[in-house]
Homo-oligomer: A and B are copies of this chain.
Amino acid sequence: MAKKPASSKSGGAPVNVSVKDKKTLTSLRRVADDVATCADSGRAPHLDVPSRSLSNVRFNKTKRFLEMGGGTNRRELFNLSQAKSYMQTLLISSGCKRLIEQGKTTSLRGLYYMLKHTIEGTKEETFEDQEDSDSVIEDVEVTLDSLREEMHLYASNRGNLVGPITFIDNGDTIDCTRMGSAGYSIPSICEPDVIQFKDCKADFILHVEKDTVWRRFAEDKFWKKHNCIVSHGGGQPPRGVRRLLHRLHNELKLPVYCLLDNDPWGYYIYSVLKQGSINLAFESVRMGIPEAKYIGLRSKDFDRCKLSNSVKINLNDQDIKRAKQIAEYPWFKDKKPWQKEIQTMLGQGFKLEVESLISKDISYVTEEYVPARLQDKDWLD
């Protein structure tokens, strides 16, 4: 598609292929080999892509993970309705192979541009828009059983943390107690070959929803008093944050507490941290933290904390609809405390943001609210 002399300056240098990269490359090559085998034996090349439809997803109550069933969709080259998606799947696979071999990473949008072109002799584009390629990337992820990060693709980078832990990040030693006023910037790729845990003295992780709330905890040195890591994901946490929390939880056995708003959006953030998203069930086992606890605001806090009417925010129709949907999620459906929580919010007709606690005192949230919840083990599971 394009000449590549320039890239040889950095891209062509011998690249250290990590164990993880070798594994991904092997999976990618297997896809290609299958095509060749089919062709050699005179059979029509095809791919069996695990089905990502909801009917192929189930919640394993014992393991508390979303799991994909065995359903697959066949994509055949010599089938008019499947040829395009077959070609797209191979194109994405070959693009990722190129990234890994060159030791480079790119964004979903980057890969889209890298592979988008008009197919020779036609007016057909390989991908119409980025949604088109994003969806095929997910197909390749499930086909290879690889996270997109392992295919050298990254999502947006957002989120910070502070606390008594030292990382090796891309060779740099990062003491997260000494990273300045914004803390350590959590990278978009947090796989073990990029981030290693060198030393951790923290007892737990407090994950807060917003950077503005995080700053209160950082300023009050909450992490020092309570010997913990305090992280945020700038709202809905990006994949890098989820993956890092997952690894900290599983490899270092740190409990994770989530301080979120008492509204459907806060519930949803908790749900994604805990179980992953239903549409991306396959990643749940490497991103989800089923043991994560919700210590966010509760409907009872209006009375318990003696909040004033001024801080109430009325639920709108969208909130009510979302709350009812979330109540039906398999991991909330059988949990009485969650059902009660959501019903109370709906009954009261208003939501509460973490920031509203500032109406009590600037540091009420760090000095009273969270310490009391932790001491009383008063959280939702």
A-side residues, CB < 8 A to B, are 1-4, 6-7, 9-11, 98-99, 102, 104-107, 109-110, 113-114, 116-118, 125-126, 154, 156-158, 160, 167, 169-170, 172-174, 178-189, 194-195, 211-212, 215-216, 219-221, 234, 308-311, 353, 355-364, 367-368
Contact = CB atoms under 8 A, between A and B. Distances in A.
A170 B174 contact: no
29 contacts: A2-B360, A4-B361, A6-B368, A10-B220, A10-B221, A11-B362, A99-B362, A104-B219, A104-B363, A105-B219, A106-B358, A106-B362, A110-B216, A113-B356, A113-B359, A114-B362, A117-B308, A117-B310, A118-B309, A125-B310, A156-B212, A157-B211, A157-B215, A158-B158, A167-B180, A179-B185, A181-B187, A181-B194, A184-B185
Contact of A180 (B158, B187, B353, B357): B187
Given A6-B364, A156-B211, A184-B185, 5 more contacts: A2-B359, A7-B367, A154-B215, A170-B180, A180-B187
A118 to B, nearest CB: 6
Query: In the complex this chain forms, how many copies of it are found?
Result: 2
Nearest to A99: B362
B185 A185 contact: yes
B362 A154 contact: no
A128 to B, nearest CB: 10
B361 A154 contact: no
Contacts of A357: 113
A211 B187 CA distance: 10
Contact of A160 (B104, B113, B157, B356): B157
Contacts of A194: 181
A184 B85 CA distance: 40
A325 to B, nearest CB: 26
B188 A179 contact: no
Nearest to A167: B180
Interface centre among A2, A358, A362, A368 (most CB of B within 10 A): A362
B182 A185 contact: yes
Contacts of A6: 361, 363-364, 367-368
A35 to B, nearest CB: 24
A362 B221 CA distance: 42
**Which one of A3, A99, A157, A178 has the highest number of Cβ atoms from chain B below 10 Å of its Cβ?**
A157
